[in-house]
Amino acid sequence: MSTVKISPKKGHVKPKTMMLIGRGTMIVATAAGLIFASFKLDILVMLVFVGALWGAIVFPVIASVFWNRVTNTAFTSAVIVGLLLFCVARFELLPITGVTALFFEILASVGAAVVIGLMVFGFLGRKIGMVAAAITLVLMLIFATGFLRQYMVLLASLTAYGASTVVCVIISLMGDEHFDFDLIKQRVGNYDKKSEIPSSLKS
């Protein structure tokens, strides 16, 4: 009986590629862990940094599930900018005073609105979540301005949320790309499903 090899359809993810990416990710993650461990950083510093990382990715991740305008560029840029601004505020790489402090407090206010909005969205839906976020933003802009700069850890963490959200939304709106979620599901949901050989090719 002769065997006919059916090549994967264009756009489908190959299992071998997925395996290589997974192994490479594990190697990079292990190396990064060893490097961070060699720095002997305080556990509280590490926890704050992990919180900032989560803050930088939480909005792009959730938005990409419900909004078809989020692009790879928007996602990556949002995370990078969020983390960079977190480091600037947390380690005071710039003097957090005057206009600079106001800039970070505005971003932190957006971050607080995102946190509250996402929490309410999870329980009560999108419309109420957006209302809660808007109310939180107004209250933060009124009461947090001139106040948050006294609490650098909180300011830096909320800045990661706010900066990531602003960058993700702006870059996504600048492009005209729309994702077809059904097509994405078709391409990556069943990547390991074996291609069926048409009966006419069997012998």
Tokens, residue 65 = 């599930």
Confidence at residue 4, expressed as pLDDT on a 0 to 100 scale: 41
CB 9 within 8 A of CB 183: no
Confidence at residue 2, expressed as pLDDT on a 0 to 100 scale: 41
Sole residue written with tokens 């971050």? 111
3-state SS, residue 32: helix
Domain segments of the chain: what residues? 10-40, 42-179
CB 11 within 8 A of CB 187: yes
User: Terminus-to-terminus CA distance in the chain, angstroms?
Assistant: 5
Confidence at residue 135, expressed as pLDDT on a 0 to 100 scale: 97
Confidence at residue 185, expressed as pLDDT on a 0 to 100 scale: 65
Its pTM surpasses 0.75: no
Tokens, residue 172 = 């996504």
Tokens, residue 151 = 């609490």
Looking at the chain, the number of H-run helices and the number of E-run strands are 7, 0
Sign of CA dihedral 178, 181, 186, 190: positive
Alpha-carbon Rg for the chain, nearest whole angstrom, is 22
Q: What is the full per-residue pLDDT of the chain (203 aa) written as tens digits? A: 444 444 445 445 566 776 777 777 778 777 776 766 666 666 666 777 777 788 888 888 888 888 888 888 888 899 999 999 998 998 888 999 999 999 999 999 999 999 999 999 988 988 999 999 999 999 999 998 889 899 988 899 999 999 999 999 999 898 777 766 666 666 556 555 555 545 554 55
Residue of 151, 184, 144, 148 whose CA lies nearest to 64: 184
Compute the distance between CA of residue 44 and CA of residue 61 in angstroms, rounded to an integer: 25
DSSP state of 138: H
CB 119 within 8 A of CB 113: no
Tokens, residue 97 = 């005073």
